[in-house]
A and B are shown apart, each in its own frame.
Chain A
Amino acid sequence: MTRVVLDGAAAVLLLVGALQCLLGGLGVLRLPSLLSRMQAATKPQTLGLLLILAGAALRLPLDSAVTLLLVAVFQVITAPVLSQLLSRSAYRSGAVHPEILAADELADRMPREGPEPPQAP
């Protein structure tokens, strides 16, 4: 009986997680700009991965399942760092198109185009 409940819960988690990843993929196709696509590529995927890991953990022996916890923790810690670095470079290099922004309060403060001024070595 417990087995059936666990399998059922695992199946639901895996399917919802897979759906999240699918929506993320769809977002990469449909959304218009680099910044918005990154939201779709990195974020629903984070939740999707967490759900899939949870679903997989239910079906695995405990000692394998705890290693998945490590995967989840590092995903949550590293994903924001990566997307912040990418989006900042994107803005600087002019890959963000102003016409699809409802507001841009950074425009006056950061040069949009061209590389960063060379730093003194």
Chain B
Amino acid sequence: MTASAPRVARWLSVLWLAVVWVLLWGSFTLLTILGGVLVGVAVTALFRTATPPNPLPLRPVRLLALLGFVARDLVVSSYGVSFQTLRYGPRARGAILELPLLTSSDRVVAVIAGAYTLSPGTIVLQIDHVSGLWYIYVLGPRDARQIEEARTSALEMQRRVLSAFGTPDEIAEARRMLLGRRGAP
């Protein structure tokens, strides 16, 4: 890790704040862009965040793949929820499941929980850092087979987030876990 990592993180924050500022104004003029950078510098100077200990790895291709997966999942799962509504309605069932959490990084856990909860029909209920477990609610499963399918798809989401942000060890562990599940009868 280089000494300039916190500085890079800060300039990324400034860039993000400037983009938000320009989008709020809705016009790409020199004035709004400069104003955005000024606001970004002022905000990051006034509200200093604790410097994250380790910068997350930047893997652009895998990050794009993750974004694509989440977008596709948003559409597919929306129709899943609509199907549950129309087909079962008041007789719809759900399940609360316990899953192994393969990372201890707060920020990666936040991305996993955010991505999984954004997907329709699923919610992260509880995260237990100490035991390394997370608990999810899934709308739809009615029997043991469908419960295991829901479990696999949650682990798949975890694997995809880890492959974008996780350490090599965590990625290998996530892959091994999924392979073990798919190989099981």
Which residues of A are interface residues toward B (Cβ below 8 A)?
20, 23, 26-27, 30-33, 35-36, 38-40, 43-44, 46-47, 50, 63-64, 66-67, 69-70, 76-77, 79-81, 83-84, 87-88, 91, 96, 100-107, 109-110
B74, B81, B93, B115 interface centre (most CB from chain A within 10 Å): B81
Contact A43 B85 (CB under 8 A): no
Contact B123 A84 (CB under 8 A): yes
Residues of B in contact with A, size category: 35 or more
User: When chains A and B are docked, how far (Å) is the Cα of A107 from the Cα of B116?
Assistant: 21
Query: Is B24 positioned at the interface, with any CB of A under 8 Å from its CB?
Result: yes
Which residues of B are interface residues toward A (Cβ below 8 A)?
20, 23-24, 26-28, 74-75, 77-78, 81-82, 84-86, 89-98, 113-126, 128, 135, 137, 139, 141-143, 146-147
Nearest B-chain residue to A75, judged by Cβ: B118
B68 nearest CB across to chain A (Å):
14
Given the interface contacts A31-B92, A100-B93, does A43 sit within 8 Å of B98 by beta carbon? Answer: no
Given the interface contacts A64-B26, A83-B123, does A35 sit within 8 Å of B94 by beta carbon? Answer: yes
Contacts of A84 in B (CB 8 A): 113, 117, 123-125
Contact B27 A47 (CB under 8 A): no
Counted as pairs of residues, one from A and one from B, with CB atoms less than 8 Å apart, the total is: 140
User: When chains A and B are docked, how far (Å) is the Cα of A23 from the Cα of B86?
Assistant: 9
30 A-B pairs within 8 Å (CB atoms) are namely A23-B85, A26-B85, A27-B81, A27-B85, A30-B89, A30-B92, A31-B89, A31-B139, A32-B91, A35-B94, A35-B123, A36-B84, A38-B123, A39-B81, A39-B121, A43-B81, A44-B82, A47-B120, A63-B28, A69-B23, A80-B115, A81-B117, A84-B124, A87-B123, A87-B137, A91-B126, A102-B143, A103-B141, A106-B98, A106-B125
Given the interface contacts A39-B123, A66-B26, does A101 sit within 8 Å of B95 by beta carbon? Answer: yes
Nearest B-chain residue to A63, judged by Cβ: B26
Contacts of B141 in A (CB 8 A): 102-103
A44, A76, A91 interface centre (most CB from chain B within 10 Å): A44
CB-contact partner of B82 in A27, A38, A46, A102, under 8 A: A27
